[in-house]
Amino acid sequence: MIRAMSEVNVKAGIECVLKRIDEALARRPTDLARMPKPQLVAVGKTKPVELIIEAYGAGQRHFGENYVQELVEKTQHPDILQQCPDIKWHFIGHLQNNKINKVLKLPNLYMIQTVDSEKLATGLNSAWEKIQGDNKKPLPVLIQVNTSGEEAKNGVEPNAAPTLYKYIKENLKNLQLEGVMTIGAFGFDYSKGPNPDFISLMSVHNQICTENGLEPSAVQVSMGMSDDFEKAIEAGSTIVRVGTAIFGLRSKMTGKLNK
């Protein structure tokens, strides 16, 4: 990959985002005080390997990718393997069942954030057991919830998420179910009030905690991106997925990567 934007200061971008995370955390209401400090996942969609390595050098460890082919290329890139030994990859895009094995075999895979059906969860559970063998370390996953109801977005309906949560918890021992995530509608106007997607996901979070006798801090909430991660944190997010605010504006996707 050729670096497209040499003027991007990745280190400064990360430092700025981390500062904004701390400031948003300080504004969190007291009823959410027990929710953990948010984990920053740097989203490198369409960005060259060089910028990923720069971010790693600046102390960032968690990275997210939306496309299977781009995740395959980056996780196995010799420079990343050599220079980023402790990198943790989150897959945050739609995962088709026929791509499960390809993704789960990748080095330094940390989490699948987009489990949206019993079928996908069961497929991940079976494949992970075969790949792990005697190691038996469960695969961290999140349930993706389609809070906005948009047909173009994947995810289980909010009212079905607690049922999927119980199904995974009770039946799929090779998965470590960490919590829930949403993408939500883009460009919400906050002059109209709180983001309904964030309200919806926190309602799902609350229902899961109540029905399963869990502390709120025990269930992760992944919501918020470059344009709204501060509002997401104030609403209770524990994982934010930030790309543009770190790496700059995205270049257009090529056909090769958009698979």
Per-residue pLDDT of the chain (259 residues; tens, 9 = 90+): 444 445 789 999 999 999 999 999 999 999 999 999 999 999 999 999 999 999 999 999 999 999 999 999 999 999 999 999 999 999 999 999 999 999 999 999 999 999 999 999 999 999 999 998 777 799 999 999 999 999 999 999 999 999 999 999 999 999 999 999 999 899 999 999 999 999 999 999 999 999 999 999 999 999 999 999 999 999 999 999 999 999 986 554 443 333 3
Selection from 108, 185, 97, 113 nearest residue 147 by Cα: 185
202's tokens: 């926190």
pLDDT of amino acid 14 = 97
Q: How far is CA 114 from the centre of its chain?
A: 8
H/E stretch holding 21 reads helix 10-26
Q: Following DSSP, what letter does each residue of 155-179 receive, concatenated?
A: -B-GGGHHHHHHHHHHH-TTEEEEE
Which pTM was predicted?
0.93
DSSP per-residue string spanning 196-216: HHHHHHHHHHHHHHHHHT--G
- Residue ranges of domains in the chain, CATH in brackets: 10-247 (3.20.20.10)
Contacts 24+ apart (CB under 8 A), 72-75: 72/102, 72/103, 72/106, 73/257, 74/44, 74/49, 75/106, 75/107, 75/108, 75/109
Place of tokens 């497209």: 4
Kindly give, in sequence order, each residue whose CB lies less than 8 Å from that of residue 58, ignoring residues fewer than 6 positions away.
10, 11, 14, 15
Task: Specify the pLDDT at position 133.
Answer: 74
Burial 137-155 (b: 16+ CB within 10 A, else e): eebbbbbbbbbbeeeebbb
Q: Which residues pair with 241 in a beta bridge?
A: 41
* Torsion angles phi and psi, residue 181, rounded to 5: -145, 160
Packed helices 10-26 and 49-57: angle between N→C axes, nearest 10 degrees: 60
